[in-house]
Structure 1
Amino acid sequence: MNRLGQLLFLSISLFLFSCGGNGKPSKAMLPPASGRPGEMIIVMDSTQWSGELGETLRGTFAADVPGLPRDEAMFKMNRVEPSKMTRILKMVKNLVFVVTLDSESAASRRIRSYFTAESLERIKNEPELFVFTAEDEFANGQQVMYLFGQTEEQLISSIRENAGNLRGFFNQAEEKRLENTIFTGRNTLGLTKTLQEQYNCTMNFPFGFQVAHTYKSPEGSRGFIWFRQMNPENDKNVFVTYVPYRSESMFSQENLIAFRDSVAINQLFGDPDRPESFVLTETTVPYIPVTTQQLTFKGKFAVKMRGLWKTNNISMGGPFVSYAMVDENTGRFYYIEGFVYSPGKPQREYMRELQVILNSFQTTEMMKEQESSTE
């Protein structure tokens, strides 16, 4: 458990009866959370918002989304004075309350009134406590975060130290909401079945995706399948490819880019009527570099890669996100990717949808492990 996870666990007993309180309506009785994806309301003192604490919060939640062709904030932040928090505003999907004990403003006193005397005493005595989260506090489908500290300086330090985890909390909430939306309608179950029967893996797709191109080597050791959803606003793409796993060096950034390009040159065409127009990784834009990150994907070692793509004639381009991993059961090195073409338009939410689709991926080994764990 990471440090933020530990603090959230410790905080549960601190606020279990102070923020939500006894007599809280059941989830079924709550109104649905409101607001657009990626929006967030911050409730705090105006002086602190315009100072270093507010700057730290903006640097945390309004940081640029990595790997996009132009600047887009992770969250659109709107500050609201505590005295102006109406019932409607309390129903937003992402809500953050911020307060420090050293602030004596009317706004800070109002926020502190949400806390019990025991809670405030514990904050005074345990400086490591700075965050608590609550689900469905005022609306169904809502995530609420309370950020607090003995002093402003102390809270600023805690937020900076845990910025990635704080962002991750709300990013995961956004992805979960999106997953509940795109996978509950008319899903393309035939695509999932094709993957399972012919490529030893599965992935869920929302309605509108179709197979654009497939390839399998004669002996079956290499495979590729490209799924595409085209509409006037955007062109969303997902592909899955595999080759025999050879060595750990396949996971290096240099080799991943080389592997991606070798696949794209032969299988990803920019224009269906012009197969000679193919896709390449964009590595010449210094302020938007290709980045890689080692992580665990459903219990397996994986490398996540982000960056930009372009066609060889530079007529098209956009962002991509991918994962590379090994299915030990089949000895295959899998590479899965989502990329989008939507020139001149915000692309954060398109990439979030592709991220959710990629998150549904499972190899043969993952499927077997999941089945055994449910028995």
Structure 2
Amino acid sequence: MKKLKYFILGVCSLSFLASCESSLTKPTASGRPYEMLVVVGDSLWQRPAGRALFDVLDTDIPGLPQPERSFRISQTDPSRFNQILNIFRNIILVDINKKEYTQTKMRFVRDEYARSQIILHIQSPTEEEFRQFVSSHSQQIIDFFVRVEMNRLIKQLKDKHSVMVSDLAKNMFDCEFMAPEEIQSYKKGKDFFWTSSNSATAMVNICMYSYPYEGPQTFTKQYVLNKRDSVMKKNIPGSQPNMYMATDTMATFCRPISVKGNYAYETRGLWYMENDGMGGPFVSHSRVDTVNNKVIVVEGFVFAPEKMKRGLIRRVEGALYTLNLPKEKEEELELGIPEIEISAKKQN
């Protein structure tokens, strides 16, 4: 019996080592952030089912001054899905087969052909059911891949981030937080700090501030925007006395989200300097510090005249998810779609 136990342990150890070795020998996934490869038949891609998926991925990012797409989309027929294309970082594999499936479902796989890769499988019995499914689950599909990219950015921030911003968050709010390493200047106020990269052409900024939690009414659009305008007017003035940061309330989008399993209020839209020409996009998370019974707001905003803003605003948005409130544990973002486990045999 003892020999059998050691034999089983040995087999398990070898399987684990084989799995690790397989993972280490895989190439790093190719492609840039928010690039997407859809593997679907050429003719199906042009029919209503394929157009429905394209329309989901081709939506604009809310809260930007100019239209910018959520993803860069490429498509290939399954017959061309070879060893060059199968290491793409974000892949959607479409499989429509009435004999194989009775209902439409989504599942994802990590690192099947490359490290830091995500493949989303969408399987359906018919084209019409596929079309209806992706149309009704459009936000779930978008949020899935956005959070995949956010998790990748968070891993990068763990290796390289602004120690200055982390120290400010810890000393002022007892929070753990990681901001892009290019942010190296700051200004402090009462229960407030503003940090910036101070770049003349593509400036990224992170603010953090707090105020008392007063119950559920704290998380309404009007309440959050009133607080934002009050805090920013006081702490981010312009070059002249009548200049200060304000919010374009007509171009602001708010929604509740989940961060680390807890309630958060996401606000995104446009900021501008009153009586000045400066402006750009911003995104913020408002969360409850239950230890101290106050709201902690962390916000990223961008000033990049005559430049595309998608990459910049998503870079600071990813940083927002690194915020750990007092006594909160660090967690990866939940992706909201079931995961398929890959066996060591399949990996090889």
Instruction: State whether TM-score is above 0.5.
Output: yes
Q: Is the 8 A contact 2:182 2:197 kept in 1?
A: yes
Q: Is the 8 A contact 1:307 1:319 kept in 2?
A: yes
* Greater RCO, CA 8 A, separation 6+: 2
Give the counterpart of 1:48 among 32, 44, 50.
44
Matched, 1:332 2:277: no
Matched, 1:244 2:212: yes
Equivalent residue, structure 2, for 1:277 = 243
Residues 150 and 299 (structure 1), Cα distance of their counterparts in 2 relative to 1, 3 Å cut: closer
Equivalent residue, structure 1, for 2:145 = 170
Listed as ranges, the gaps of 5+ residues in structure 2 are 1-17, 332-348
Give the counterpart of 1:132 among 97, 100, 107.
107
State how 1:177-256 maps to structure 2 within 5 Å: 177-185=152-160, 187-216=161-190, 223-256=191-224
Equivalent residue, structure 2, for 1:82 = 78
Give the counterpart of 2:260 among 292, 295, 298.
298
Aligned equivalents of 1:62, 1:24: Cα separation in 2: 37
Q: Is the 8 A contact 2:180 2:316 kept in 1?
A: no
Shift of 1:310: 0.6
Residues 88 and 198 (structure 1), Cα distance of their counterparts in 2 relative to 1, 3 Å cut: same
Following TM superposition, the consecutive aligned residue runs of length 4 or more in structure 1 with deviations greater than 4 angstroms are 22-25, 273-276
Matched, 1:263 2:231: yes
Equivalent residue, structure 2, for 1:157 = 132
Task: Letter of the 1:42 partner, please give it.
Answer: V
Aligned equivalents of 1:358, 1:23: Cα separation in 2: 33
- What do you get for the CA RMSD once the two structures are aligned? 2.3
Aligned equivalents of 2:108, 2:259: Cα separation in 1: 25
SS in 1 for 2:243: strand
Give the counterpart of 2:317 among 336, 350, 355.
355
Deviates more, 1:354-363 or 1:243-252: 243-252
SS in 1 for 2:159: coil
Equivalent residue, structure 1, for 2:346 = none
Equivalent residue, structure 2, for 1:144 = 119
TM-score scaled by structure 1? 0.78
Deviates more, 1:296-305 or 1:348-357: 296-305
Residues 276 and 355 (structure 1), Cα distance of their counterparts in 2 relative to 1, 3 Å cut: same
Residues 155 and 198 (structure 1), Cα distance of their counterparts in 2 relative to 1, 3 Å cut: same
TM-score scaled by structure 2? 0.83
SS in 1 for 2:328: helix
Deviations, residues 57-87 of structure 1 (Å, cap 9, x unaligned): 1121121111111111111111112222231
Matched, 1:39 2:35: yes
Shift of 1:133: 1.4
Q: Is the 8 A contact 1:291 1:306 kept in 2?
A: yes
Q: Is the 8 A contact 1:183 1:205 kept in 2?
A: no
Q: Is the 8 A contact 1:240 1:337 kept in 2?
A: yes
Q: Is the 8 A contact 1:227 1:239 kept in 2?
A: yes
Q: Is the 8 A contact 2:185 2:198 kept in 1?
A: no
Residues 58 and 24 (structure 1), Cα distance of their counterparts in 2 relative to 1, 3 Å cut: farther
SS in 1 for 2:197: strand
Q: Is the 8 A contact 1:327 1:365 kept in 2?
A: no
Aligned equivalents of 2:158, 2:38: Cα separation in 1: 30
Listed as ranges, the gaps of 5+ residues in structure 1 are 1-21, 103-119, 217-222, 371-375
Task: Letter of the 2:87 partner, please give it.
Answer: M
Aligned equivalents of 2:123, 2:212: Cα separation in 1: 51
Shift of 1:25: 7.6
- Say how many residue pairs are matched: 314
Residues 327 and 78 (structure 1), Cα distance of their counterparts in 2 relative to 1, 3 Å cut: same
Q: Is the 8 A contact 1:328 1:365 kept in 2?
A: no
SS in 2 for 1:282: strand
Q: Is the 8 A contact 2:50 2:131 kept in 1?
A: no
Residues 95 and 300 (structure 1), Cα distance of their counterparts in 2 relative to 1, 3 Å cut: closer
Shift of 1:274: 4.4
Percent sequence identity over aligned pairs: 27
Shift of 1:276: 4.5
Aligned equivalents of 1:156, 1:365: Cα separation in 2: 44
